[in-house]
Copies of this chain bind each other. A is one copy, B any other.
């Protein structure tokens, strides 16, 4: 254990040295904040260093290149999504119940970590050109979509959803609608709720 002292993010930071891992975490956090403010496009190594309270060279010591920096951010995002996805157990639930759980997860993430999707969007955008980012970010989305597809498959089997439902297509619609609504700055929370309700009506089995 090397660093029981500082940890104060920026203001005073009396302690002199920090372990490498902690620094990398702090760097990722600062980078994410800047991405939220100015976008990936406006991400500057100097700004990160300033926010963490270290020298540019020190930043480069911990994260050698900017590309690695972006990859680090992508990693930190993935970790958070992964953790969130595994919080609620889906065991023994019907398809519809699991869909509701999925919606709850979505609401919770939107409420408590709204910056996550902003960063994720920027990363997806960059993934089109950056293979390293794509390798981290695209599987993340596929995982999310796959989870919806599983839920729909289960729900068709247990009678929650329409028999003629196409699980893959429905999963694509659901994730697409959710991520798009999340991304847009001009969507009110109530409209999101309407969309969630409408998604349920769209896929549910009718008597």
Contact = CB atoms under 8 A, between A and B. Distances in A.
B177 A173 contact: yes
A156 to B, nearest CB: 13
Contacts of A168: 191, 194
B128 A198 contact: no
Contacts of A195: 169, 172-173, 176
Contact of A198 (B127, B165, B175, B187): B165
Copies of this chain, tallied across the complex: 2
Given A191-B168, A198-B166, A141 B177 contact: no
A198 B169 contact: yes
Nearest to A125: B125
A129 interface: yes
B176 A172 contact: no
A162 interface: yes
A38 interface: yes
B186 A173 contact: no
Contacts of A198: 165-166, 169-170, 173
Interface in A177-203: 177-181, 183-187, 191, 194-195, 197-199, 201-203
A91 interface: no
B199 A173 contact: yes
Nearest to A138: B186
Contact of A191 (B126, B169, B178, B187): B169
A194 B166 CA distance: 8
Chain B CB within 10 Å — which of A39, A164, A202 has the most? A202
Interface in A121-157: 121-122, 124-129, 138, 141-142
24 contacts: A39-B129, A40-B41, A41-B41, A42-B129, A118-B128, A121-B125, A124-B183, A127-B185, A128-B185, A138-B185, A166-B198, A169-B191, A169-B194, A169-B197, A169-B198, A173-B177, A173-B198, A175-B180, A176-B176, A176-B181, A176-B195, A177-B180, A179-B180, A202-B202
